[in-house]
């Protein structure tokens, strides 16, 4: 069986035409990406907004041509064999509205099932089963323009799952969902994957904990390039030697940002609470021995320790180590 | 065969959306059927003011009937791709394993409900208020011509739809621009021959021009036809075939270009 | 403060609407676009008249009436189309609505931008009529024309506002609504034929339409007469009738919009999507 997804040197450039004295600009949304995902895998693509995740998915879904490189889905080239690729895929993009406001959920799903050649009986049976499974059965007759964000997203996910694609792409499936619905969604994804071990699912997210919980393997993508690719456990294990601390300080008086410039500390989170006069910093060090030095530099800035604890390495820490900045900072710098 | 069945299924589903949603928001019956009949009546009265012979009023009524189909092609089918793009549905259609033509066919067929009602209202208005008289022996031929004209017209609509795969507002503006000039070039309100031979010959590239002219000759027994009916029918058949293949070609070319430029699913262009 | 906010909203909406209308292309192409529809519409009337033997006394008043009629669908539709487009396509109407102050200036700004577009078409038709086609007006009273335009555009703007209130309640096919309402005015206001041509019962509807009186005033400012029925009404009386219609349409527009938006809020339609 061929890999569910294989890309080699996949690159996508966007060109901005010159205008009023500003020369033409080129932006590499995806830059030389090599990936291989096997049937049965639930694969996570992690990165901040603007990292290239959606562009990569659009290429794999036959909605966009790559500038160079190759991409295959189920052994079929997404450029040359796009019609056969479409028979094997589906995609759901989180947070994006779709559908016709005047139709009900059930009607809407039936319409989209007809694009994939399902008989009405088969489509309705799948739709009803999934609506029930996903806790949406009682709302099946509600019109789309009356749905909450969570309900709309559930409907969209069922749209992707119900056609039983060989490869399913989920672009930020839990974006904007509350914790309860996000958990339901993760359970639904797991159940769908467990139904048939030949299916593959590529999920993009910038919620690292979600990726850690769900995915068999993850790739960290930053500025269009894959920076690391392995199981979440292996990625974390590779950095297990790192010492991760969380410290709450008082008395920094607006100096908290200086901590980001510390030569030994890789800051993965920095929350300043001016009202309480506290700053909480999560950071990693090469080893425990580097801690006294870091603490003395904090003290030099006027910081007094309120609380200090040591933590297990998470994917978030790994991301900071690899990308050199937190997801939030990467999103800010890409704006 | 299964591919044809799947495409027909997709077309049926897209048509079904139109029919069901239209039934849930019935204000269109008023705005899209009764009110447009007023414009047609206005043009009939222009001929009354001009003291033209009564058959000219019949020409306007037939033109009004055909206007509905032109508007369905423009707004119900071609420009609908633009709405689908902005509503987030175009991605779904584009990555589904179906022909783009099946979606467009579904839009056209679904829109036929409103179009047919509008046409009937204008016809009834013409018969009851303006005493339009049909030449009964010519009605069957007229219906055949109508079908040929529709085949060519919807092919043309699919060509226009392809523009929306690449462009956004720009294509919409040109579609808007096309509306009235086509009224002019097709002779919706006057005999095609009134344009003069050269302009009428150029206008014949647009299917409604010859379609309306031939229908007037057959259904109204008009003597002001531009070309003999068999010739017009043959040209219409040729246009229908040519536009079908051109539409397929343009849909493919525009889709590929949009995918290269990253504009296939780019909203709010 | 309130006046400054209103003025800013009108200006912003005007600029936004202008960009939506024009920034997809270059200026020359835009001008071509703005002229294509009115020119084609006028040529339809020209060819119809030619087909009927061009009876004397028809084309001059019809041509300039049609030039002025460009404002009707444009301004009427400017407000209601802004509601539909912002609500359904850009999904921004809710943000416009919840901004401080009323949404009316925002809608008015859209209508005014469309009025400018209509002005381009009307001016081009008038110049072409006078200098290319030899359809010379018999006189020219710029003050009367300016008064007619001011009253007419204001009337249409507020009628459009009432229509915008309705468009909150119709589906996306409301796009056709503005064209269709334009068609109603085309018939009942006897846009391109004399009121005399209408059957007698229709004439009463015609008298109740501000557009009838507005077009007559525009024709009078150009020294043109169209039929005999309106001839008996003196020009100051037409001005008075139009001013009364204008005042009534301001009230109807504000009340119609307020009723429409209140009901829409009640039914949750301010951010609905209804396209199909």
What is the pLDDT, as a whole number, of residue A214? 93
What is the rounded distance in angstroms from the CA atom of residue A234 to the CA atom of residue A239?
Answer: 9
Residue A89 Cα to chain centre, angstroms: 19
What is the pLDDT, as a whole number, of residue B1? 47
What is the pLDDT, as a whole number, of residue A16? 81
What is the rounded distance in angstroms from the CA atom of residue A208 to the CA atom of residue A215?
Answer: 10
Q: Which of residues 82-111 of C touch A (CB under 8 A)?
A: 91
CA–CA distance from A260 to each of A256, A329, C255 (Å)? 8, 11, 59
Write down all domains in chain A, each with its CATH number in brackets: 5-236 (3.40.50.300), 241-312 (3.30.70.240)
CA-nearest residue to A80 within chain B is: B256
Judge whether B266 lies within some domain.
Answer: no
Judge whether B245 lies within some domain.
Answer: yes
* Dihedral (CA of A260, A266, A268, A271) sign: negative
Nearest-CB residue to B95 (from A14, A63, A84): A63
Nearest in space to B14 (alpha carbons), one of A6, A112, C183, C268: A112
Nearest-CB residue to B173 (from C24, C44, C51): C24
Span C130-165, pLDDT tens digits: 999 999 999 999 999 999 999 999 999 999 999 999
What is the pLDDT, as a whole number, of residue C1? 64
What is the pLDDT, as a whole number, of residue B2? 64
Judge whether B268 lies within some domain.
Answer: no
What is the rounded distance in angstroms from the CA atom of residue B62 to the CA atom of residue B80?
Answer: 26
Span B201-259, pLDDT tens digits: 999 999 999 999 999 999 999 988 999 999 999 999 999 999 999 999 999 999 999 99
Alpha helices by DSSP H, chain B: 2-24, 27-28, 35-50, 54-71, 80-87, 90-94, 100-128, 139-166, 169-185, 197-203, 207-219, 229-261
Instruction: Report yes or no: C276 at the A interface, CB cutoff 8 Å.
Output: yes
Judge whether B86 lies within some domain.
Answer: yes
What average pLDDT does this structure show over B1-12? 88
Binding partners of A (≥3 Cβ pairs within 8 A): B, C
Span A287-299, pLDDT tens digits: 888 899 999 999 9
CA–CA distance from C82 to each of A279, B147, C69 (Å)? 48, 37, 20
Binding partners of C (≥3 Cβ pairs within 8 A): A, B
What is the pLDDT, as a whole number, of residue C272? 85
Q: At A168, phi and psi to the nearest 5?
A: -115, 135
Span C96-111, pLDDT tens digits: 998 888 999 999 999 9
What is the pLDDT, as a whole number, of residue C144? 97
What average pLDDT does this structure show over B18-38? 86
Give ipTM to 2 decimals. 0.91
Nearest in space to A69 (alpha carbons), one of A219, A230, A228, A226: A226
Give B82-139 as a DSSP string.
Answer: HHHHHHT-HHHHHTSSS-HHHHHHHHHHHHHHHHHHHHHHHHHHHHHTS-----GGGH
Interface touch B38/C183, C-beta < 8 Å: yes
What is the rounded distance in angstroms from the CA atom of residue B64 to the CA atom of residue B115?
Answer: 11
What is the rounded distance in angstroms from the CA atom of residue A168 to the CA atom of residue B26?
Answer: 38
SS3 C208: coil
Model confidence at C49, in pLDDT bands (50, 70, 90)?
A: very high
Measured in residues, chain C has a length of 276
Neighbours of A247 (CB within 10 A): 21
Instruction: Report yes or no: C274 at the A interface, CB cutoff 8 Å.
Output: yes
Helices B207-219 and B139-166: crossing angle, nearest 10°?
170
pTM here?
A: 0.88
What is the rounded distance in angstroms from the CA atom of residue A45 to the CA atom of residue C226?
Answer: 73
Judge whether B269 lies within some domain.
Answer: no
| DSSP-assigned letter for residue C132 | I
Judge whether B94 lies within some domain.
Answer: yes
Task: Give the total number of structural domains in chain B.
Answer: 1
Domain span at B14: 2-261
Interface touch A102/C171, C-beta < 8 Å: yes
Residues of A in contact with B5 (CB under 8 A): 117
Interface touch A65/B260, C-beta < 8 Å: yes
């Amino acid at each position: 069986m061929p890999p569910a997804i294989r890309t080699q040197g996949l690159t996508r450039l966007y060109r901005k035409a010159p205008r009023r004295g500003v020369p033409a600009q080129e932006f590499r949304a995806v830059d030389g990406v090599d990936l291989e995902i096997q049937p049965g895998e639930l694969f996570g693509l992690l990165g901040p907004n603007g990292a290239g995740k959606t562009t990569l998915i659009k290429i794999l879904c036959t909605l966009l041509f790559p500038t160079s490189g190759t991409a295959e889905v189920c052994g079929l080239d997404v450029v040359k064999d796009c019609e056969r690729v479409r028979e094997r895929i589906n995609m759901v993009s989180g947070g994006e509205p779709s559908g016709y406001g005047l139709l009900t959920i059930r009607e809407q799903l039936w319409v989209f099932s007809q694009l994939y050649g399902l008989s009405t009986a088969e489509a309705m049976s799948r739709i009803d089963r999934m609506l029930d499974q996903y806790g949406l059965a009682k709302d099946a007759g509600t019109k789309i323009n009356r749905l909450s964000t969570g309900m709309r997203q559930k409907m969209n996910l069922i749209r992707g799952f119900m056609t039983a694609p060989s490869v399913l792409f989920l672009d930020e499936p839990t974006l904007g969902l509350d914790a309860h619905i996000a958990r339901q969604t993760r359970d639904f994804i797991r159940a769908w994957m467990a139904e048939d071990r030949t299916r593959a699912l590529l999920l993009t997210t910038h919620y690292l904990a979600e990726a850690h919980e769900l995915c068999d393997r993850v790739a960290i993508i930053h500025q269009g390039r894959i920076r690391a690719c392995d199981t979440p456990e292996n990625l974390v294990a590779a950095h297990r030697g790192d010492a991760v601390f969380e410290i709450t300080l008082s008395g920094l008086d607006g100096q908290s940002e200086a901590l980001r410039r510390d030569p030994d500390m890789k800051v993965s989170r920095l929350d300043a609470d001016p009202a309480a006069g506290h700053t909480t910093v999560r950071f990693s060090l090469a080893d425990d021995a580097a801690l006294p030095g870091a603490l003395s530099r904090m003290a030099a800035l006027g910081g007094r320790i309120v609380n200090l604890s040591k933590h297990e390495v998470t994917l978030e820490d790994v991301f900071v180590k690899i990308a050199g900045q937190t997801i939030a900072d990467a999103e800010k710098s890409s704006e | 065969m299964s591919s044809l069945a799947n495409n027909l299924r997709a077309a049926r589903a897209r048509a079904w959306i139109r029919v069901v949603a239209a039934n849930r928001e019935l204000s269109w019956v008023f705005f899209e059927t009764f009110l447009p009949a007023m414009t047609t009546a206005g043009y009939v009265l222009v001929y009354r003011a001009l003291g033209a012979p009564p058959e000219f009023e019949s020409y306007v009524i037939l033109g009004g009937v055909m206007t509905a189909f032109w508007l369905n092609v423009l707004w119900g089918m071609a420009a609908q791709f633009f709405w689908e793009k902005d509503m987030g549905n175009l991605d779904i259609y584009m990555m589904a394993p179906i022909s783009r033509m099946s979606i467009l066919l579904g839009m056209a067929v679904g829109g036929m409900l409103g179009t047919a009602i509008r046409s009937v209202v204008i016809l009834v208005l013409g018969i009851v208020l303006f005493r339009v008289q049909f030449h009964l022996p010519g009605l069957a031929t007229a219906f055949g011509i109508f079908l040929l004209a529709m085949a060519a017209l919807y092919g043309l609509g699919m060509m226009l739809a392809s523009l929306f795969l690449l462009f956004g507002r720009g294509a919409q503006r040109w579609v808007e621009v096309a509306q009235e000039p086509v009224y002019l070039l097709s002779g919706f309100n006057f005999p095609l021959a009134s344009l003069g031979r050269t302009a009428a010959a150029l206008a014949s590239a647009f299917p409604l021009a010859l379609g309306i002219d031939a229908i007037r000759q057959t259904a109204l027994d008009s003597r002001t036809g531009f070309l003999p009916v068999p010739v017009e029918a043959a040209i219409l058949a040729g246009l229908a075939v040519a536009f079908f293949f051109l539409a397929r070609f343009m849909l493919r070319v525009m889709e590929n270009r949009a995918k290269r430029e990253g504009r296939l699913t780019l909203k709010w262009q | 403060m309130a006046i400054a906010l209103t003025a800013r909203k009108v200006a912003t909406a005007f600029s936004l609407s202008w960009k939506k209308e024009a920034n997809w292309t270059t200026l020359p192409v835009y001008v071509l676009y703005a002229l294509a529809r009115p020119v084609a519409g006028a040529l339809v009337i020209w060819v119809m008249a030619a087909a009927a033997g061009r009876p004397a006394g028809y084309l001059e008043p019809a041509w300039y009436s049609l030039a002025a009629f460009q404002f009707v669908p444009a301004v009427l539709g400017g407000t209601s189309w802004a509601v539909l487009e912002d609500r359904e396509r850009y999904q921004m109407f809710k943000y416009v609505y919840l901004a401080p102050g009323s949404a009316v200036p925002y809608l008015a700004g859209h209508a005014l931008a469309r009025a400018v577009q209509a002005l381009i078409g009307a001016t081009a038709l008038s110049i072409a009529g006078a200098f290319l086609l030899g359809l010379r007006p018999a006189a020219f009273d710029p003050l009367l024309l300016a008064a007619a335009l001011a009253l007419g555009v204001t009337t249409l703007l507020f009628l459009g506002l009432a229509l915008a209130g309705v468009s909150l309640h119709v589906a996306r096919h409301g796009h056709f609504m503005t064209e269709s309402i334009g068609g109603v005015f085309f018939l009942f206001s006897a846009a391109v034929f004399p009121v005399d041509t209408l059957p007698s019962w229709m004439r009463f509807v015609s008298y109740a339409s501000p557009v009838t009186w507005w077009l007559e005033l525009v024709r009078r400012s150009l020294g043109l007469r169209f039929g005999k029925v309106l001839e008996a009404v003196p020009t100051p009386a037409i001005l008075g009738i139009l001013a009364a219609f204008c005042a009534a349409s301001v009230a109807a527009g504000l009340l119609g919009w307020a009723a429409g938006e209140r009901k829409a809020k009640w039914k949750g339609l301010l951010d609905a999507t209804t396209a199909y």
